[in-house]
Structure 1
């Protein structure tokens, strides 16, 4: 019996060594992608920059069109494994609903970012918002006192107005892939 066991042990060792010498299994990694989150940060702006309404006026915010695409994470930056970065923009929307321009906001202007973002992320955010469209913002001016219109500006006069809205875009990577996270 000991003779059969002694022949079996070298065979088990040979099989174990052969398994260790085999090539490691290749795992296909998905291609890197990037995504961006967006949140309005208008409430962080100082009161002097806000629209003041008279007692007989109401205001309707511009409504973003459904086709407004979020910025794309620049493919060239995925390999750099950058830490999360926030880009804040003030987006000027004309009385016609078209974006008239945008500018970067600093931390003192309501942006939660502590350090400036990579300029290529700022460029990606500005390129995206330049293509956005909105139903225009308007001020509803009522004759006399302000009524409580439940259905919008029914008894008043609509006046389209240009506005600026502030947005926070968060560019983030996890495991080499871009992810979406809403800013503060």
Structure 2
């Protein structure tokens, strides 16, 4: 029993003992799975690359479908034991929610300052994965007058599906001899 629990006033001792005895055990970290993470880096883009909305409009970002597969670390590159490689992509999403293209972003284009991957197969792996992604489309909601303050969704407005581009950052790395991909910083 902990000394701190024993020094409490008798009235609080029962409550304190219950708290000391019922503290949850520390949770073990789940074992690494080699799963891929991704993060949008669009907020780093300059204002000129962002959509401008009128006072009577709102915007809904596209929502990625749950089954979108993440990139895989190219198996043929494992033997090279390369340091982590960051790939940033601009992903074009059409008005129907399908990926219409992607391109690699350089450090000056909103990608975190990292060197270009040592092997183009990292970029190819990322582009191949995002080519199959699907989204619920982005849309602009245009209201006939002033947009309602408390409206959820686009109930009193007109939805206009719009194509957009989003930026994602992937970090390909090796851990314990296995290739993994995680979300970029």
Structures share fold, TM-score greater than 0.5: yes
Q: Determine the structure 2 residue equivalent to 1:15.
A: none
RMSD: 1.4
Q: CA deviation at 1:112?
A: 0.8
How far apart are residue 35 of structure 1 and its match? 4.5
Match of 2:88 in 1: 88
Point out the structure with max Rg over C-alpha: 1
Task: Look up the match of 1:171.
Answer: 172
- What residue in structure 2 maps to residue 154 of structure 1? 155
Preserved CA contact (<8 Å) 2:73 2:181: no
Structure 1 gaps of 5+ residues are 1-32
Q: State how far apart, in whole Å, the 1-side matches of 2:84 and 2:35 are.
A: 12
TM-score (norm 1): 0.79
Q: Deviations over 1:128-180 (max 9, x none)?
A: 00000101000000011111254200010000000000000110112211234
Q: Which has the larger displacement, 142-151 or 55-64? A: 142-151
1:95/1:137 contact within 8 Å kept:
yes
TM-score by length of 2: 0.78
| SS of residue matched to 1:144 | coil
Q: Verify: 1:67 aligned to 2:51, yes or no.
A: no
